Homo-oligomer: A and B are copies of this chain.
Amino acid sequence: MDKESYIFNKFKNSLNGDDGAVVGKCVYSKDLFVEGVHFRREWMSLTQIATKSMLVNISDAIAMNAVPKYALLGVSLPKDISVGEIDELTNGFLKIAREYGVQIIGGDTISDEKIVISITIISKTKNPIYRKGASNGDLLAFTGNLGDVKKEFEILENGGKISNDSKFYIPNLKDKFFYKVAKFINAAMDISDGLSKDLSRLLKVNSLGFKPLLKLSKDELCSGEEYEILFAFKPKFKDKILKIACKTNTKITIFGQCVELDENTKFINKCKEHHF
Binding site for B on A (CB under 8 A): 1, 3-4, 6-8, 10-11, 13, 15-18, 20-21, 23, 26, 28-32, 34, 36-38, 69-70, 72-77, 79, 81, 83, 86-87, 90, 93-94, 103-113, 116, 118, 120, 122, 275-276
Contacts and interface: CB of A to CB of B under 8 A. Distances in A.
**So how many copies of this chain end up in the complex?**
2
Given A86-B3, A90-B7, A118-B32, A20 B111 contact: no
Given A28-B120, A76-B116, 20 more contacts: A1-B83, A6-B86, A7-B75, A11-B93, A20-B106, A23-B70, A23-B122, A30-B74, A30-B106, A30-B107, A30-B120, A32-B74, A34-B112, A36-B112, A37-B76, A37-B110, A37-B112, A74-B118, A79-B276, A110-B275
Contacts of A36: 112-113
B76 A15 contact: no
A231 B111 CA distance: 28
A103 B93 CA distance: 29
26 contacts: A4-B110, A6-B86, A7-B86, A8-B109, A10-B90, A10-B94, A11-B94, A13-B103, A17-B106, A18-B106, A21-B72, A28-B72, A28-B106, A28-B122, A30-B118, A31-B74, A32-B110, A32-B116, A36-B113, A37-B76, A37-B112, A72-B120, A74-B74, A76-B116, A110-B275, A111-B276
A75 B37 CA distance: 13
A104 B11 contact: yes
A266 B126 CA distance: 50
A210 B257 CA distance: 70
A204 to B, nearest CB: 18
A90 to B, nearest CB: 4
Contacts of A4: 109-110
Nearest to A57: B108
Contact of A103 (B15, B31, B108, B113): B15
